Amino acid sequence: MTADNLVIYHTPVMVTEVIHYLGVRLGGLYGDLTCGEGGHSLAILEAAAPGGRILSLDADPDMLVVAARRLQHYKDSVTFINNNFSQVAKVAEEQRFTSFDGLLMDLGISSRQLELESKGISFLRGPLDMRLDPEQELTAEEIVNTYDEKELAHIFSTYGEEPRARRIAAAVVRSRPLSSSPELAEVIVKAVGGRHSRSHLHPATRAFQALRYEVNDELNSVRTGLEQAVDLLSPTGRLVVLAYESLTDREVKTYFKRESTNCICPPHVVECQCGHKARVRLVSRKIVSPSEEEVRTNPRSRSARLRVVEGLQADN
């Protein structure tokens, strides 16, 4: 990245709502578990000053370069760590943070990540890579060129919720080898009969989402990250999650529902046998959506869904 790339920063989504639902207070300790370009981290530090501190994680080291520059004014109040949020418990222990007043997980892909040709996340440019962490081995190119047709169809269907998964998988196998995102996108377009659709989505959108999930093991990371984040909440500390895709939002909704319930036995069980105790309470039972004004000024925010829970006191 050049210095010129770092000047124009990504606008964080629903920043006012994030600060409100985190309940940011002066001098508090917070965690931004998907720091990205640091927009939310900056807003949290501004609201928590003086004395506020933040642990800012991201799996993508390129994003932390941007964030460090953006948060230069608060450099003594922020700890940047290049790691996935699924490792937050380990990171917190290493940094000697035992509990947090608030944690944020923004599960979206930033504009800069989409635009970086080297990542190939967009179907418009770049190699078939899609790794957020460049140190990991599995790439989209390996998946596309080595997984069998059944495996590919499963990925497209499960992680992309793509109704034409089998047709796309068959076309991919016939078109091997593939090495670039535009190449793959064109294969998908032809497989589904062209770009004409009632949906505003490009025909390759769901398949590309599925590949990104598989490459980065995103669903398992979300599940692990949520579990560890709740463990790290102080009593009345809050966990705010922003999701943009139905798959991850359902994971968050399901997890929050379970962890805010005292018994999770099947309905036919008369007397509780699971012994499950609620660890959080739902702060808002409905999703919080961006305002109409924000969607007008930042169209990419339109799919954002915010959910929030609060840690319970030990005797609850």
Summarize pLDDT for 178-213 with one digit per residue, the tens. 999 999 999 999 999 876 555 678 899 999 999 999
Distance CA 277, CA 261 (A): 7
CB atoms within 10 A of CB 5: 13
pLDDT in tens, 33-92: 999 999 999 999 999 999 999 999 999 998 999 999 999 999 999 999 999 999 999 999
In which order are the strands placed within the sheet that holds 233-243? Answer: 78-82, 53-58, 29-32, 100-106, 233-243, 305-311, 280-282
Please report, for the chain, the start and end positions of each structural domain, with discontinuous segments joined by +: 3-106+219-311, 113-216
CA 89 to CA 163: how far, in whole Å? 37
Render pLDDT for 234-276 as a digit per residue (tens, 0 to 9). Answer: 999 999 999 999 999 999 999 999 999 999 998 888 888 889 9
- Residue the block writes with tokens 């590919």: 152
Q: Please give the CATH topology (third level) of the domain spanning 113-216.
A: DNA polymerase; domain 1 (1.10.150)
Element (H, E) at 82: strand 78-82
287 vs 29, 258, 313, CA distance in Å?
25, 16, 24
Query: Which CATH code, of 3.40.50.150, 3.40.50.720, 1.10.10.60, 3.10.20.740, is assigned to 3-106+219-311?
Result: 3.40.50.150
DSSP 162-183: -TTHHHHHHHHHHH----BHHH
Confidence band (pLDDT; 50, 70, 90) for 4? Answer: very low
Q: Place 10 in a pLDDT band, splitting at 50, 70 and 90.
A: confident
Query: Taking the model in full, what pTM does it have?
Result: 0.92
